[in-house]
Chain A
Amino acid sequence: MIKILLFAGLKDRVGKSFITLENGPMTVSELKKELEKVSGLENLTNVMVAVNETYADGDVVVRAGDTVALIPPVSGG
């Protein structure tokens, strides 16, 4: 199982703070496409992704047990 954490506007739109996927391993790019199918979220291509709390490029492989987070543009400070 891969757990995908959602924050800010993405969390509001899905109505949940996380989604789980049973498939994998897959790349971050593939995971975004899969999420677009199952979550109703659109245009995830340019949303930043973190794998296990570290920013990850599209070719990073995600496996069962990993924690993924979708990181919409940040606005702290």
Chain B
Amino acid sequence: MNKERFEIVEDPIPVDEVIQKVVHPNAGAVNVFIGTVREMTNGKRTIYLKYEAYIPMAIKQFRVIEAEILKRWPEVRLAITHRIGELHITDTAVVIACSSPHRAASFEACRYAIERIKEIVPIWKKEHWVNGECWVGDQKEQHAYPNGEPEKEGL
């Protein structure tokens, strides 16, 4: 089993391995977030997604998120694995595991981690539909940018 707590992989994510990276004797709670590929987005049917990452920087940014979490919740232990490549409906794209001595911190830190991933980690997804494809451009999935970057009015 790979002991690296922050990983980008191309194969299906072994969820239990991610969890085991944060289990330890003083943990009384493990919170797990699993992000999966959704079929319908704003009325459009996704056929598959393609994820791409700037891998070395993405790993660094996972560590930035960990540092931010440790400032707020010093006893949390965090592991993140994100999958890239072609993913189909219901496939797991990301697994975040957060452990802490008491449950509240593990819930809060796990939520914090997924929100920050969507803001600062250089990973991109391209949605492929029946009639076309588009890079999802906005950090919080509010907008798509057909040209691959924000249009002027979107800034």
Q: Are B54 and A69 in contact (CB under 8 A)?
A: yes
- B148 engages A75 (CB within 8 Å): no
The count of chain A contact residues (Cβ–Cβ below 8 Å) is 22
Residue of A nearest to B147 (CB): A9
Q: State the main secondary structure of chain B at its contact with A.
A: mixed
Q: Count chain B residues whose beta carbon lies closer than 8 angstroms to a beta carbon of A.
A: 36
* B148:A76 contact, CB within 8 angstroms: no
Interface string of A53-77 (1 = CB under 8 A from B): 1110000000000000101111111
- Asked whether, in the complex, the Cβ of A46 is within 8 Å of the Cβ of B147, the reply is no
Cα–Cα distance between A76 and B57 once the two chains are bound (Å): 13
A1-27 contacts to B (CB < 8 Å): 5, 7-10, 12-13
Chain A nearest CB, measured from B64 CB (Å):
9
- 18 A-B residue pairs with Cβ-Cβ distance under 8 Å, sorted by A, are A7-B54, A8-B135, A9-B135, A9-B137, A9-B145, A10-B149, A13-B147, A69-B57, A72-B137, A72-B149, A73-B137, A73-B139, A73-B150, A75-B118, A75-B139, A76-B53, A76-B125, A77-B118
